[in-house]
Amino acid sequence: MLSLGAARVEPQDFDGPIRRSLRRRLEAPVVSRIYPQTMSPAATSPPKRKRSLGRKILGGVLGGAGGFVGGLYLGAAIEGQSCNCDDPGLRGAIVGAPIGLVLGAIGGVVLASR
């Protein structure tokens, strides 16, 4: 086996800024802060505003009305001219209007609650 005489590397006594900072951190005393029970994170956040019942009702009514009209038109547009009858789109409008009403009312209450 051949062995090459590798030069032995001696560790350098390098005292750079990172090592000094780490040494100060390790030698520093540990400080523990105990907060009283009244200082919980929930207590420090601002109180949430409650929306009035009237505002939620108004949001539901307006959302329901808009959803009714939107569902009416969307249902009629989806069914389109699929039948050769006197009232094309009526069946789609009858199905779409209550679906739009319910979805619109729920969306109106959710938006009014924010």
pLDDT single digits (tens) 89-107: 888 999 999 999 999 999 9
Mean pLDDT score across all residues of the chain: 81
Asked if the structure places residue 37 within a domain, the reply is no
**What pLDDT does residue 85 have?**
81
**What pLDDT does residue 55 have?**
92
Tokens 């959302």 belong to: 63
Asked if the structure places residue 60 within a domain, the reply is yes
Q: List pLDDT tens digits, range 27-55.
A: 888 776 766 555 555 556 666 777 788 99
The number of distinct structural domains making up the chain is 1
**What pLDDT does residue 13 have?**
62
Asked if the structure places residue 109 within a domain, the reply is yes
Token pair, residue 58, equals 């108004």
Asked if the structure places residue 33 within a domain, the reply is no
Three-state DSSP state, 1: coil
Over residues 50-67, mean pLDDT? 92
Residue 101: give the domain boundaries. 53-80+88-113
Asked if the structure places residue 61 within a domain, the reply is yes
Number of helical H runs and strand E runs in the chain? 4, 0
